[in-house]
Amino acid sequence: MDLIIYRGMIVLQMILLGCGSSHPPELQSVVQQFETIHPTVYSIYASQPLEDDLHAILEGVFVGQKLTQEYVEHFTTLHHMAIEETSIDVKQVDYNTIEVLDFDFGWVKLDVDWSVGGVVTHQGHKHTRVNRYHAVYSLIEVESDTWRIANVKMRNAERIRRATDEEILNGEDAGGGYLDPMDLLEAGMFELSEEKSEPETQVDSNTTGVEDE
């Protein structure tokens, strides 16, 4: 773990000290790269990677302190999922809007609204989660035209609905998305009791860290 943290610090130092971009960002390319790397986080829960593989996957998405934070939180989540006999099958990630808020040489700030659809299986019980997210992502150019997420500010996580067991058994499409794995574990959403129907605002989730810049 100490080696991984050290590697993350070295990468960030390289970016800050000598890897600044010499040209303005190509914004369309940045948005396209974000749409490519961001869903990678959700693939972790299908592949259940080992420590080194987990870090390699996240290294393709995050950089610096954010990479270290994401590694620790995803590793912890996978550990708890194994204990709780839980699996997650992500069906779809949809980006509703991606807006460029600000940019300069070597960095871009994006306002992102997206949904994630999937099924959580907990001790034999299946639940479809339906959620929509809104967050601000700060991306850094780590190499020429290669971008990674350096910081995230969560704006909102809204639970739209929860599908019934009958819908799941019949294979009906419930649409939308569900809370990220860390959110599910921290919020106790694996319990079979009835959930609240009103939207909720949540913070401190693994793929949408909330530390202010």
What is d(CA 177, CA 207) in angstroms, rounded to the nearest whole number? Answer: 14
Q: Work out the pLDDT band at 6, boundaries 50, 70, 90.
A: very low
The two three-digit tokens of residue 213, written as one number? 């810049």
pTM of the model: 0.69
What is d(CA 149, CA 107) in angstroms, rounded to the nearest whole number? Answer: 10
Q: What is the pLDDT of residue 20?
A: 52
Average pLDDT, the chain: 74
Find the mean pLDDT for residues 50-62. Answer: 94
Residue 136 lies in a domain: yes
What is d(CA 181, CA 85) in angstroms, rounded to the nearest whole number? Answer: 13
What is d(CA 194, CA 207) in angstroms, rounded to the nearest whole number? Answer: 26
Confidence check: pLDDT of 155 > 60: yes
Residue 213 lies in a domain: no
- The range of the structural domain enclosing residue 29 comes to 2-187
pLDDT tens sequence across 69-125:
999 999 998 888 888 888 888 888 999 999 999 999 999 999 999 998 888 888 888
Most confident segment among 2-16, 20-34, 92-106, 186-200: 92-106
Residue 202 lies in a domain: no
Confidence check: pLDDT of 140 > 80: yes
Residue 70 lies in a domain: yes
Q: What is the pLDDT of residue 66?
A: 95
Q: Work out the pLDDT band at 28, boundaries 50, 70, 90.
A: very high
Give residue 110's identity as a one-letter amino acid code. Answer: L
pLDDT tens sequence across 164-188:
555 544 554 443 333 455 444 434 4
Residue 196 lies in a domain: no
How many domains does one find in the chain? 1
Confidence check: pLDDT of 53 > 50: yes
Residue 92 lies in a domain: yes
Domain at 12, CATH number: 3.10.450
Confidence check: pLDDT of 65 > 90: yes
Residue 209 lies in a domain: no
Confidence check: pLDDT of 203 > 60: no
Q: What is the pLDDT of residue 191?
A: 39
Residue 193 lies in a domain: no
Q: Work out the pLDDT band at 24, boundaries 50, 70, 90.
A: confident
What is d(CA 91, CA 178) in angstroms, rounded to the nearest whole number? Answer: 10
What is d(CA 107, CA 2) in angstroms, rounded to the nearest whole number? Answer: 28
Q: For the chain, report the end-to-end CA distance as a whole number of angstroms.
A: 25
